[in-house]
Chain A
């Protein structure tokens, strides 16, 4: 009986490990094929432009709101913490660094993962289960080129744009709280912000955003493309796309931070 139980455990563990390697291998192959098709013609310009609008324009309100409130909260928190050691003057710098290096890219990434990653997985997943992707192939159109490549490239291009706008709005949020609630002098706050502004802070945030854009669109497309069954399969693909993209964003945020600021 005990042996049976042990075997069952080994069996289950083996299946989990095998499934993990199978999924990793499939994702690896999908990524390679996607990168290849992103770089080789034909290119579908219209599909790319549609995705730019979908990812960039329609995500702008949610990214603007999250970065605005993040900047405001950081200003308040920094002030309440730093005032005890009489370092209130550092509020502008802390807002600047936190927003540009971390908050704008990560918040924008997570918000876009929820909005765009889910939408992509649902759309492509529905196309898969209703044979629309097979139909594309029979119409001599490569689904990787028509469906996946425009989304991936649009994600890589648009996320940095969103983050750049998020940077400005986040810093404005800090400025608004600093001037209206914490009684900072407007000119001094702006001068402090400008003084501490380093190109590396902005660049690191934008590079992170590009990587996050790739991750979000890749996970959305991968999960949608491999969805099976009917409505349940599409629902599962959508959940997987958002969860996996969010986790990967946090992991890669750490890795990129380490690369940029400790090496």
Chain B
């Protein structure tokens, strides 16, 4: 482990978040968030609902702008890049959305091949072949390619979303709550797919979840987000041994502890 950490320090982080702050109205969502994700590793951010996990991903993707702080990718500050360079850098990221976010006006294969056709200008026939092979990688057959997202189950939507996220062989993949809304068996199938696809692509992965089974399966390192800050980072083994009361409470899923869930009703 010591060697692994030494190696990390030598490398330029693939993604580096430095002192990120983000406020919505009076609510401080990110409050000085710092995190480094190294090339080829899989980092999982855990934390309760409303702690800023999705906001963190959206800030990296450029869908939201942080109020202060900055984000680096491959050592380049995103806010200092030209619009074109920034779009190109962010274009390396594939994203699996919590709800799948599939385009319901397009068929499954058109969803998967969207970026190939629109941006890489690959011909339709060839793009379809690539889409079908990506669908096969996530365990979906050729027969699914022509149906529309409305006809798919939740688990299938996640798989199609995963196929779309890896269609352009991205060097970074984000997973937003990949197992939410799925039964335990399908959750495990998705977790295994995530592990294998990330491994096959040699990609860097950043996942946000509050599903501890998923975190244990996917993560090289786990970071705990609480009140807009990363309060703990460690490996899965370290997670089980930590004495951090916040992490222990979250992992145990206990209502008793330093993390107080806001319950405003009747107060």
Partners in one complex: yes
Find residues 84-114 in chain B having any chain A CB closer than 8 Å to their own CB.
87, 90-91, 93-95, 97-99, 101-104, 114
Whether, in the assembled complex, A3 has its beta carbon less than 8 Å from a beta carbon of chain B, the answer is no
Against A, the Cβ 8 Å flags (1 = close, 0 = not) of B106-141 are 000000001100110000000000000000000000
Against B, the Cβ 8 Å flags (1 = close, 0 = not) of A35-79 are 000000000100000000000000000000000000000000000
Q: Contact between A141 and B58 (Cβ–Cβ < 8 Å)?
A: no
| B91, B95, B115, B118 interface centre (most CB from chain A within 10 Å) | B118
Which residues of the partner chain A approach B2 to less than 8 Å between Cβ atoms? none
Whether, in the assembled complex, A132 has its beta carbon less than 8 Å from a beta carbon of chain B, the answer is yes
Q: Contact between B119 and A140 (Cβ–Cβ < 8 Å)?
A: yes
Whole-angstrom CA separation of A138 from B118 in the bound complex = 13
Which residues of the partner chain B approach A146 to less than 8 Å between Cβ atoms? 118
Against A, the Cβ 8 Å flags (1 = close, 0 = not) of B54-83 are 000010011100000000000000000000
B62 to chain A, nearest CB (A): 7
A133 to chain B, nearest CB (A): 9
Q: Contact between B97 and A134 (Cβ–Cβ < 8 Å)?
A: yes
Which residues of the partner chain A approach B94 to less than 8 Å between Cβ atoms? 138
Q: Contact between A140 and B115 (Cβ–Cβ < 8 Å)?
A: yes
Whole-angstrom CA separation of A137 from B103 in the bound complex = 13
Pick the contact of B97: A135, A140, A141 (CB < 8 A).
A135
Whole-angstrom CA separation of A102 from B93 in the bound complex = 52
Pick the contact of A134: B87, B101, B114, B118 (CB < 8 A).
B101
Q: Contact between B115 and A141 (Cβ–Cβ < 8 Å)?
A: yes
Instruction: Name the residue on B nearest A123 (C-beta).
Output: B105
Whether, in the assembled complex, A263 has its beta carbon less than 8 Å from a beta carbon of chain B, the answer is no
A185 to chain B, nearest CB (A): 53
B178 to chain A, nearest CB (A): 14
Which residues of the partner chain A approach B118 to less than 8 Å between Cβ atoms? 44, 139-141, 146
A44 to chain B, nearest CB (A): 8
With known contacts A134-B58, A134-B63, A141–B99 Cβ distance under 8 A: no
Against B, the Cβ 8 Å flags (1 = close, 0 = not) of A113-147 are 00000000000000100111011111111000010
Whole-angstrom CA separation of A135 from B93 in the bound complex = 11
Instruction: Name the residue on A nearest B121 (C-beta).
Output: A42
Find residues 249-263 in chain A having any chain B CB closer than 8 Å to their own CB.
none
Q: Contact between A138 and B103 (Cβ–Cβ < 8 Å)?
A: no
B127 to chain A, nearest CB (A): 13
Find residues 226-249 in chain A having any chain B CB closer than 8 Å to their own CB.
none
Whole-angstrom CA separation of A131 from B98 in the bound complex = 9
Q: Contact between A139 and B119 (Cβ–Cβ < 8 Å)?
A: yes
Which residues of the partner chain A approach B102 to less than 8 Å between Cβ atoms? 132, 135
Pick the contact of B115: A44, A130, A134, A139 (CB < 8 A).
A139
A42 to chain B, nearest CB (A): 8
Pick the contact of A132: B62, B91, B98, B103 (CB < 8 A).
B103
Which residues of the partner chain A approach B93 to less than 8 Å between Cβ atoms? 138
Q: Contact between B98 and A138 (Cβ–Cβ < 8 Å)?
A: no
Instruction: Name the residue on B nearest A145 (C-beta).
Output: B118
B137 to chain A, nearest CB (A): 18
Q: Contact between A131 and B114 (Cβ–Cβ < 8 Å)?
A: no
Q: Contact between B97 and A131 (Cβ–Cβ < 8 Å)?
A: yes
Q: Contact between B103 and A135 (Cβ–Cβ < 8 Å)?
A: yes
B185 to chain A, nearest CB (A): 25
Which residues of the partner chain B approach A136 to less than 8 Å between Cβ atoms? 103
Pick the contact of B119: A132, A135, A141 (CB < 8 A).
A141
Pick the contact of A137: B62, B104, B164 (CB < 8 A).
B62
Which residues of the partner chain B approach A132 to less than 8 Å between Cβ atoms? 101-104
Pick the contact of B95: A127, A130, A135, A141 (CB < 8 A).
A135
Which residues of the partner chain B approach A137 to less than 8 Å between Cβ atoms? 61-63
Instruction: Name the residue on B nearest A42 (C-beta).
Output: B118
9 A-B pairs with the lowest CB-CB distances in the bound complex, closest first: A135-B101, A131-B101, A138-B95, A139-B115, A140-B91, A140-B119, A131-B97, A132-B101, A134-B63
- In the complex, 28 of the A-B residue pairs with CB atoms within 8 angstroms, ordered by the A residue number, are A127-B103, A130-B101, A131-B98, A131-B99, A131-B101, A132-B101, A134-B63, A134-B97, A135-B95, A135-B97, A135-B103, A136-B103, A137-B61, A137-B63, A138-B63, A138-B90, A138-B93, A139-B115, A139-B119, A139-B164, A140-B90, A140-B118, A140-B119, A141-B114, A141-B115, A141-B118, A141-B119, A146-B118
Other than the known A135-B103, A138-B61, what 8 A-B pairs have Cβ atoms closer than 8 Å? Answer: A134-B97, A135-B101, A137-B62, A138-B93, A138-B94, A138-B95, A139-B164, A141-B118
**Residues of chain A whose beta carbon lies under 8 Å from any beta carbon of chain B:** 44, 127, 130-132, 134-141, 146
